[in-house]
Amino acid sequence: MKIWLDGNLVDESEAKISVFDHGLLYGDGVFEGLRFYSGRIFRLEEHVRRLFDSARAIVLDLPWTQEEVCKFTCDTVRANGLTNGYIRLVITRGTGELGLSPYLCKTPSMFIIASTIKLYPEEHYTNGLSVITCATRRPAPGALMPQVKSLNYLNNIMAKVEAIQANALEAVMLNEQGYVAECTGDNLFLIKNGVLLTPLISDGALDGITRAVIIELAEKLGVPFQEKSLTRYDIFTADECFLTGTAAEVIPVVSLDRRKIGTGKPGEYTHRFLKAFHELANTTGTPFA
Ligand code: PMP
C-alpha cells in the first residue's frame, strides 16, 4: 500500500510520524474520512472544505491549497489501483518540543491512506442496528466545537466501549443538557409522521457530509425536514430511525435500549433514503483516474 506523506507517495512500511508530533502527543490535529465509489471520490470538495475549516478553527495554518489537497487525495487513490474504498486524510500539528503550545510546531504533517472499510456487518443494513444510550456525554460546544473534526476522539471511543460492552454496535450520545447529539461516529435521523428530523449542530452533532446529503435528498424526495433539539423520547416514539456517516453510509436503527423503534424493522422512508443515497454515491463524484 502506498501512503501519501508530506509530499511523497511512500510504502506503508516507510510511512512514519515522529513521536514528538503533537498530533500524537496531544491529539492536536484534524482529519477527514472520505469514500470513493466506481472510480469517483464522493463529495471530495466538501470534505476538503470541512478539513480546512476544522484546521482554521484550531489555528492550524496549512501550507497547501484546497485544490492541492484534492489532487493529492486523487493521486493516493490512483497509486493504490483501487476503484471502491475509503480514504483517511490526517493533518497533525507537526513535530515540536514537549509542551502544549502549538507554536512549538513549525510545520504541519499530512498523510493520506486509501484503503477499504466495512463498518458494520451486512446483515445490519438489512435488519437494522440495535443501539444503546451511553453515559458518556458529548463535550459542550464551549469545550470542543462539534464542527471540528479533530484528532480528539477519546470521548467517542469511551462511548463506543459502552456500546460494545452492552453488546451493541453503536451508542446514542447525549449532550450535557440531555438532548440527543449523535452517535459515536454517525449522525442520527428520525422519521415521525412523515417528517425527517435530526439534531441541531449546536446540540453537539458533527456537521456530517452524509447528513447534508440526506437533507438534500429529503428535498428531492419531497420529505419535509426539520432540524431541532431531540430527546430519547423522540427516538422511542419515532416511526423510523437511521444513522449516517461516510464509513457507515445509511444504516437503519430498529431499537434503542432494547425498546423497539416503530415496527422494530427498517422502515419504508429509511429504504427510500438508503436507495437514493446509493444512487447518488454511485453516479456522482470527482473522477481520480
Ligand atoms: N459524527 C461523528 C462523531 C463522526 O466521526 C462522523 C464521521 N465518521 C460523523 C458524525 C458522520 O460524518 P460524515 O457524514 O461527514 O462522515
Tens-digit pLDDT profile for residues 21-58: 999 999 999 999 999 999 999 999 999 999 999 999 99
Does residue 280 register a pLDDT over 90? Answer: yes
Residue nearest to atom 2 of ligand 1 (CA): 185
Atom number, ligand 1, closest to the C-alpha of residue 50 = 15
pLDDT digits (tens, 9 = 90+) for 188-240: 999 999 999 999 999 999 999 999 999 999 999 999 999 999 999 999 999 99
What is the residue with the minimal CA distance to atom 5 of ligand 1? 185
Q: Whose CA is nearest to atom 4 of ligand 1?
A: 185
Site of grid cell 513549525: 106
Q: Is 197 in the pocket of ligand 1 (CB under 6 A)?
A: no
Residue that is written with C-alpha cell 500539528 in the block: 93
Q: Residue 205's closest CA among 193, 197, 195, 194?
A: 197
Task: Count Cα atoms within 13 angstroms, Cβ side, for 112.
Answer: 24
Q: Look up residue 165 and give its three cell numbers.
A: 460492552
How is residue 31 written as a grid cell? Answer: 482529519
106, 118, 149, 260: the active-site residue: 149
Closest approach atom of ligand 1 to CA 211: 14
Task: State the pLDDT at residue 106.
Answer: 95
Give CA–CA dist 187/210, Å, rounded: 8
H/E run at residue 183? strand 180-183
Q: Is-contact 160 210, C-beta < 8 A?
A: no
Q: What is the pLDDT of residue 128?
A: 97
- DSSP summary character for residue 150: B
Q: Is 149 exposed, middle or buried (CB count within 10 Å of its CB: 0-12, 13-18, 19+)?
A: buried
Domains of the chain: 2-115 (3.30.470.10), 122-281 (3.20.10.10)
Average of per-residue pLDDT across 146-151: 95
Catalytic residue check, 149: yes
> Which amino acid would we find at residue 185?
G
DSSP 21: B
Element (H, E) at 214: helix 209-221
